[in-house]
Amino acid sequence: MSVRYPACVSTTRIAQCIDGRALAAEVKALLAVRVAELAALGRFVRLDVLLSGGNEAGGVYAKNQASMCAELGIEYRMHAVQADASESQVLQRIYELNADDAVTAIMVHLPLPSGVSTQRVQACISVEKDVEGVNPANIGGVIYGRRTLVPCTALATMRMIESTGVELRGADVVCVGASTIVGRPVAVLLMEAQATVLSTNVHTRDLAGRTRMADVVITAAGVPDLLTGDMIKPGAVVVDVGINRIIDPETGSKKTVGDVHVDSVLPVAGYLSPVPGGVGPMTVAMLLRNTVAAAD
Ligand code: NAD
């Protein structure tokens, strides 16, 4: 699905918008049908999340999750973790959820209380219930081309690229950023699609020279205005994963931007995903997709 950006630059060419909200709505409509079908068979979808005390951003996200799950007919349960909880207390909670057959999906909001290892906690989530795809077994599955429980943002990014209809087989793709949760799994999924993939990071030399050669550029660096129009091949697909809070120089108030310098990239790229309204809503849709898949 793609819609046109508003004609905010004076040029004959403006990139098509990869509309994450519209794509997410399509995914959610299909999921609601599947949840109802499962319920008719006596199989219920339930997402249990752990949220540590003092995590305000996580609290807002959890509230949104709860209402989206309600829309889809998914049962949602939130488990509060004390801000000073020990690692063994957190792990105990995970083991209880793993053992409970009524719980079909588990997610842990970050950050965890100080002193609690995120990696150790994620590794203890049951592989079948790990809907964020953060257990090493699920991350390993990505290497083998399994898309069952893949990290949500990586899956969202792939779905957004695929929605443009671009031929990935043989395409030159540059991933800007190589984190374990976004850049690396996306690179592996693109390899699986037979693209020629270049993974870059903060130490990469001549980033612009490399992105200019790419048919598809994914940026997940967390650096506002990192990717400018002179770094983009005309007609390329650009997916902006970055979420950065900045002060708007014009209004003085806070706003959310991605890694792309929109005004200069819009006249050059063929497709561009906006921030907000791009990868963000699709990531949530992919969490719900994984939640239903875990119960299916
Ligand atoms: P991270 O900090 O773990 O990794 C950043 C990566 O970018 C590193 O590999 C680093 O080397 C690279 N990088 C930094 N500056 C660079 C530069 N100038 N040139 C090339 N590479 C550079 O970050 P992360 O957790 O992967 O998140 C990245 C961004 O994506 C953040 O803005 C984050 O908020 C956003 N994010 C969005 C979603 C979503 O749902 N839309 C999900 C996760 C992360």
Burial class (CB in 10 A: 0-12, 13-18, 19+), 273: buried
Q: Do domains 42-128 and 150-280 have the same CATH topology?
A: yes
Out of 119, 231, 243, 289, give the residue to mutate to test ligand 1, the one with the largest number of ligand atoms within 8 Å of its CB. Answer: 243
237 touches 269 (CB < 8 A) = yes
82 close to ligand 1 (CB < 6 Angstrom): no
pLDDT of residue 12: 61
Helix (H) or strand (E) holding 35: helix 20-40
Task: Report the residue among 134, 175, 201 best suited for mutation to probe ligand 1: largest number of ligand atoms under 8 A from its CB.
Answer: 201
**Ligand 1 center to 128 CA (angstroms):** 27
Output the residue whose Cα is nearest ligand 1's atom 8: 177
Residue with tokens 């400018």: 228
What is the position in ligand 1's atom list of the atom closest to the CA of 223? Answer: 15
Q: Is the CB of 286 under 6 A from ligand 1?
A: no
As a whole number of Å, the CA-based R_g of the chain is 20
* Structure token pair of residue 282: 């699709």
How many residues belong to the chain?
296
Q: Hey, where are the domains in the chain?
A: 42-128, 150-280
- What spacing in Å lies between the alpha carbon of 40 and ligand 1's midpoint? 42
Q: Is the CB of 274 under 6 A from ligand 1?
A: no
| Ligand 1 pocket check for 207: Cβ under 6 Å | yes
φ, ψ for residue 278, nearest 5 deg: -115, -105
Residue 221 CB less than 6 A away from ligand 1: yes
The dihedrals phi and psi of 81, each to the nearest 5 degrees, come to -110, 130
Q: Which amino acid is located at 110 in the chain?
A: L
pLDDT by residue for the chain (296 residues), tens only, comes to 445 554 444 456 799 999 999 999 999 999 999 999 999 999 999 999 999 998 888 888 899 999 999 999 999 999 999 999 999 999 999 999 999 999 999 999 999 999 999 999 999 999 999 999 999 999 999 999 888 899 999 999 999 999 999 999 999 999 999 999 999 999 999 999 999 999 999 999 999 999 999 999 999 999 999 999 999 999 999 999 999 999 998 999 999 999 999 999 999 999 999 999 999 999 999 999 999 999 99
CB of 256 sitting under 6 A from ligand 1:
no
Architecture of domain 150-280: 3-Layer(aba) Sandwich (3.40)
Which CATH number fits the domain 42-128, given the four candidates 3.40.50.10860, 3.40.30.10, 3.20.20.210, 3.40.50.300?
3.40.50.10860
DSSP designation for 231: G
Task: Calculate the alpha carbon distances from 116 to 55, 88, 92, 128 in Å.
Answer: 14, 9, 13, 23
Dist CA 234 CA 41 (whole Å): 50
Q: Where are the beta strands (DSSP E) in the chain?
A: 2-4, 16-18, 46-52, 75-81, 105-108, 172-176, 196-200, 216-219, 237-240, 244-247, 254-257, 271-272
Residue 187 CB–ligand 1 contact under 6 Å = no
Question: From the CB of 277, is ligand 1 less than 6 Å away?
Answer: no
Determine the pLDDT at residue 24: 97
59 CB less than 6 Å from ligand 1? no
CB atoms within 10 A of CB 32: 16
90-106 tens-digit pLDDT: 999 999 999 999 999 99
Q: Whole-model pTM?
A: 0.94
Residue type, 277: G
Which residue among 176, 241, 245, 273 has the greatest number of ligand 1 atoms within 8 angstroms of its CB, and so is best to mutate?
241
